[in-house]
Amino acid sequence: MSTDPLTAKMTPAAERAVARMQAALAQLRDALQQDIYMEDTPLEVREVMENAASALEAALGVLNTISPTRVRPSPQSTDWPTPKQGQFLAYIQEYMLRNSAGVAPTHAVLQRFFNLTAPSVNSMLIRLEKRGFICRTPGQGRGIRLVIDPGMIPELDRPFRW
């Protein structure tokens, strides 16, 4: 196994650990929303549960941004992103860093920031994925992971906004 964090692959054990964290977070969030469970729960316990959920979200967010699943662009895409692709990548990276849960922006957020239509945003994400700069998880909201060498991502040309 490679020791370079940019080219190392996530082990099956690590993938299972992430899946378990996601399942635990979902169960915890579900329990917190169930009045039947929470009616008689002391406030101190509820606070501990909410803090645990927040900690799980933050840990999963960090794993998404610094995970060893990051790889350099594939051999067919060893060139740098185009200026527009670079801006998309820069915004996604900045959004994930500023978001306490470390999740990627939604399509709607990208539409607003870049003043584009939904098909244009989707087309750009498809191109970024084909070029090996991002990885998307089908069926998962905000399921974008940056897999590009961070040194290849330019600075945002304009101020970041939510």
Lookup: tokens for 36: 């039947």
- Residues 85, 130: one domain? yes
pTM: 0.54
**Domain containing residue 114: CATH number:** 1.10.10.10
Residue 120 is assigned to a structural domain of this protein: yes
- Residues 131, 80: one domain? yes
Angle between the N-to-C axes of helices 107-114 and 118-130, in degrees from 0 to 180, rounded to the nearest 10? 110
Domain that residue 118 falls in: 75-152
- Residues 42, 110: one domain? no
Residue 113 is assigned to a structural domain of this protein: yes
Which residues fall within 8 angstroms of residue 97, CB to CB, at 6 or more apart? 65
Number of domains in the chain: 2
- Residues 133, 86: one domain? yes
Cα–Cα dist 27/38, whole Å: 14
Residue 2 is assigned to a structural domain of this protein: no
Q: How many CA atoms lie within 13 A of 114 on its CB side?
A: 26
Per-position pLDDT tens, the chain of length 162: 444 333 345 566 666 777 778 878 888 888 888 888 788 889 898 888 888 888 888 777 776 665 544 444 444 445 789 999 999 999 999 999 888 788 999 999 999 999 999 999 999 999 999 999 999 988 888 899 999 888 889 999 999 887
Residue 162 is assigned to a structural domain of this protein: no
- Residues 62, 85: one domain? no
